Amino acid sequence: MLVGELSLLVVLATACEGPESFLDTAGPAAEEIAGLWWIMFALGLGVYAVVMGFVAVPIWRRWRRRRGPPSDERDLIVERRFLGGVIGGSIVILFSLYLVAAPVLVSTSPSGQDHQDITVDVIGRQFWWEVRYPDHDVITANEIHIPAGRTVRFRITSGDVIHAFWIPRLHGKVDMTPGHTTELVVTADEPGHYRGRCTEYCGIAHAQMILHVYAHEPGEFEEWMEELADEPETDGQDEGRAVFASHCAACHTVRGDFPSSPVGPDLSDFALRQKLASGVVDNDRENLRRWILDPHDVKPGAAMPATRLERDDLEALLDYLESLR
């Protein structure tokens, strides 16, 4: 009992705020889900109190019986009433849960909402996120930019195993299933940074499959998209480009320089990203150096192999990557 109460306190203390708290809602869908959660939580507390009562009553009666004569017939009647109460109570509770949950299921489902301002395709991969903006002809990775206050329709699938897509402050969790597309309609009320993560165990780096979502003012969002859609200016980066060609281009795309290599993340806007290795570390030169030389030190389980490079080649490659914006 004590363990139960302690874990409840821990849940309450940790769940109410923080970048991944579904109770700290930032959009209409998350708000409805959190509202439902509080109702279920209150009901759960009630059930907990009743069950504890059920435990206390027999203890009390056993204690009382010790002091008086046994009364088998009365016990039987009480037990039957007890059982009737448990069955009846359970039916009422489950049915009322259904009654409060059904409208939330309907209103947060994408099928009820035929309007969207933009569409974003997200494809789960071991262990990163491919992000496509079909309206803007942009392919990127691991960071999603959306306009605040606008309706975003996510079309979610997987390129390998089952992952799950969850941005707790914006919406509920959905599976990313290979060969099947699931939709999610999301609105972020305010501009800001929202964190998401993979919530289905998908392999060794599952816990490091982190997603960063940035909601911008609508005008700023269009500027972002234009910047992402532009080909990077890599003039004067010939050395780095040559290193990229021999070590990286088999797996990574750079618009303009190295088209269509579908294995790893598209790097056309690499220098605009805040994070490296699917949200694990900051995108700075030191981390990038570590990542290229030994990805598994930064993120065990990453598919990218370690690259052996001479010092000058490595620095030229870093210059080239840092010019991709």
By CB under 6 A, name the binding residues for ligand CUA.
Answer: 124, 127, 163, 198, 200-202, 206, 209
Nearer to ligand CUA, 54 or 201 (CB): 201
Query: Helices 238-247 and 311-322 meet at what angle, rounded to 10?
Result: 100
d(CA 283, CA 12): 33
Nearer to ligand CUA, 143 or 200 (CB): 200
Shortest spacing between CB 129 and ligand CUA, in angstroms: 9
Shortest spacing between CB 201 and ligand CUA, in angstroms: 6
Shortest spacing between CB 208 and ligand CUA, in angstroms: 9
Nearer to ligand CUA, 162 or 229 (CB): 162
Nearer to ligand CUA, 113 or 199 (CB): 199
* H runs (alpha helix) in 20-177: 28-65, 72-108
Shortest spacing between CB 279 and ligand CUA, in angstroms: 12
d(CA 261, CA 270): 15
d(CA 227, CA 130): 18
In angstroms, the Cα distances linking 261 to 250, 268, 299 are 6, 12, 22
Nearer to ligand CUA, 216 or 299 (CB): 299
Nearer to ligand CUA, 163 or 247 (CB): 163
Shortest spacing between CB 149 and ligand CUA, in angstroms: 29
d(CA 224, CA 136): 11
Shortest spacing between CB 315 and ligand CUA, in angstroms: 33
d(CA 267, CA 272): 10
Contact 213, 194 (CB under 8 A): yes
Nearer to ligand CUA, 82 or 201 (CB): 201
* Residue 281 neighbours by CB under 8 Å, 6+ apart: 275, 287, 291, 298
For 284-310, b/e burial (b = at least 16 CB within 10 A) is eeebbeebbeebeebbebbbbeebebe
Shortest spacing between CB 160 and ligand CUA, in angstroms: 9
